[in-house]
Amino acid sequence: MSTAFDKNLLPEFDTIKDDDEEILWVGKPILTPYLLSRLGGGLVSITFGIIWILTSKFGNYEEGSEPNQWFWLFGLLAILQGAYVFFNKLPSYPNTAYAYSNKRVMTRTGFIGTDFKTIDYDKISDIEVNVSVIERIFNVGTVRFYSGRTQIDEGNTTKLYDKWISIKDPYGVFKLVKQTSVDIKTDFNFPNALRPDTNPGYNTKYKRK
């Protein structure tokens, strides 16, 4: 099984690619669902800010009393926060790309500079694919990787996932990267399983089925 990718994106990972590393897939998020995936949190803040400002301007107050002249600023800050949540990914979009190789999964992003995030296959304990309502409309989806990172908030522990957001053919990419992960982990733990009889060791090149 194979899935197409834009080979013009390959140079985007040359900076961090090892000499013996082979890039098996590269892709970019689709812009519109990529931005709309942030709609929920941003929309809540914007709605709250608008309601807050309208309340401060047209609310019922006792005769002779007025709201504090800075009261409406709280609403404005909420609107600005919501707009930031929604649009903060736009400037870095041209520099955003995802890839996986015969060694690891990789993410590239950044606006002023370029940031890379990589996860070796032996660190990944779970791979998932999710398709939201918005992503389903655009025929894209999100692949998530869990490598043990958590966040503790008021005693509640939440898993933190690295995500490839709004990519084409999410199920196909999910199957391929998961199979590659299994192959590499198996080969690492049981080297002879994927090696020829002569077993030249770790100079053997991984060949995806």
DSSP per position, the chain: ------GGGGGGGTTT--TT--EEEEE---HHHHHHTTHHHHHHHHHHHHHHHHHHHH----TT----TTHHHHHHHHHHHHHHHHHTTTTTGGG-EEEEESSEEEEEE-SSS-EEEEEEGGG--EEEEE--HHHHHTTEEEEEEEEEEEEEETTEEEEEEEEEEEEESHHHHHHHHHHHHHHHHHHHHSGGGGS-TT---TTSPP---
Same-domain check for residues 68 and 161: no
Same-domain check for residues 107 and 173: yes
pLDDT of residue 61: 47
Same-domain check for residues 108 and 177: yes
What CATH number does residue 166 fall under? Answer: 2.30.29
pLDDT of residue 30: 94
Same-domain check for residues 26 and 126: yes
11 within some domain: no
Say how far apart CA 29 and CA 93 lie, in whole Å. 8
8 within some domain: no
Token pair for 113:
């500079």
49 within some domain: yes
- CA atoms within a 13 Å half-sphere pointing along the CA-CB vector of 176: 22
Q: Residue 54: how many CB atoms within 10 A of its CB?
A: 12
pLDDT of residue 16: 87
Q: Which domain holds residue 127?
A: 22-30+98-189
- pLDDT tens, per residue, the chain with 209 residues: 545 555 555 567 888 888 888 899 999 999 989 887 766 556 677 777 777 777 766 554 455 455 555 666 777 787 777 777 666 677 888 889 999 999 999 999 887 778 899 999 999 999 999 998 889 999 999 999 999 888 887 778 888 899 999 999 999 999 999 999 988 887 766 655 555 555 455 455 666 66
Report field, pTM of the whole predicted structure over 0.95: no
pLDDT of residue 123: 93
Domain count, the chain: 2
61 within some domain: yes
